[in-house]
Amino acid sequence: MNKNLHECILLADDIRAGLELFPKNQLPTVILAPAFPFLYAVSQTLGVNQSITTSAQNCSSEKTGAYTGEVSVDMIRSTGARYVIIGHSERRSLFLETEDFIRKKLIACIEADLAPILCIGEKSEERKSARYFEVVKKQIDSATGNLSSEMLSKLVIAYEPVWAIGTGVHASPAQAQEMHAFIRQSFAQSKGMEFSQTLPILYGGSCNPGNAKELFSCKDVDGGLIGGASLNASDFLSIIKAAMDL
C-alpha cells in the first residue's frame, strides 16, 4: 500500500524506460503489482510489451455478487493484468486468510485465465523449530492438491520466509536453495518431473540490489518477488540487471 496514482504511473514509466535500455533478447519477464485502483493506468502506461506486464496484489474468491469492496478476477483481467498474487504472508497474518480461502482464490484465478503467484513460507518460530519443510509442504498441498498439472500450467510459486520480509534479514543463498529445491521436489512428486522443472519459483524477502545476484545464482531460484526495493526504479532495475547477468 504505497504511492498515489501519479507516483505510481511515474514509477512504472521509469521502469519501462529503463528496460528499453537493456538488450531485448535477454530481458526476463517483469511484473508490476500496483494497488487495485492503479492497475488499468499502469497497464496503459506499459503498453503492449511482451516483457513487462501487471499483476493484482490480491483478488476475491467470488466471481460476482453482493461483496462490497471486493475485486473479482474478471474485474482484474479487464484492466489488462495477467497475474494475481495469492496468499501473501500479510494476507495470511493480518487478514487471517485460511488455506481453504487461498485455494478458492487460486481456482478463481485459473478459471479466469489469470496466472496465480502463490506465496508460501514459514514464520520465524517455525524456522527455529525446524518445521519449515512441514509448513511449506502443507501450504503447497492445501492450495494445489487434486488440481491437475494442466490446470496449474500458469502457476508461479513465491517462497517468502516470513521472518525475512521487511526485516532487512534475508535467507542465505544456501537456505533459499534448500527450500526452493524442496518445493520443486514436492511438485515433482505430486505433478510430475516435467511440470516441476518448468515451474517458476521466486524468492521474496528483503531481496535488494546488493544480494539479488547471489540469490538468483542458486540453481532453483528463478527470480524474485520484490518488496521495498521495487518502490525505487533504479533499485528495481538493478535487481532485474542482476538476473540478466547470470
Please identify every residue annotated as catalytic.
88, 160
Nearest to 159 by CA among 190, 101, 199, 110: 199
CA of 6: how far to CAs of 32, 36, 226, in Å?
15, 14, 21
Q: What is the dihedral angle through the alpha carbons of 179, 181, 186, 188, rounded to the nearest 10 degrees?
A: 170
Cell of 57: 496484489
Q: How far apart are CA 81 and CA 109, in angstroms?
A: 12
Place of cell 494476507: 91
Residue 16: left if φ>0, alpha if ψ -120 to 50, beta else—which one?
alpha
- What DSSP string runs through 159-205? E--GGGTTSS----HHHHHHHHHHHHHHHHHHH-HHHHHH--EEE-S
Q: From CA 120, how far away is CA 101, in angstroms rounded?
A: 14
Which residue in 55, 71, 137, 132 sits closest to 99, CA to CA?
137
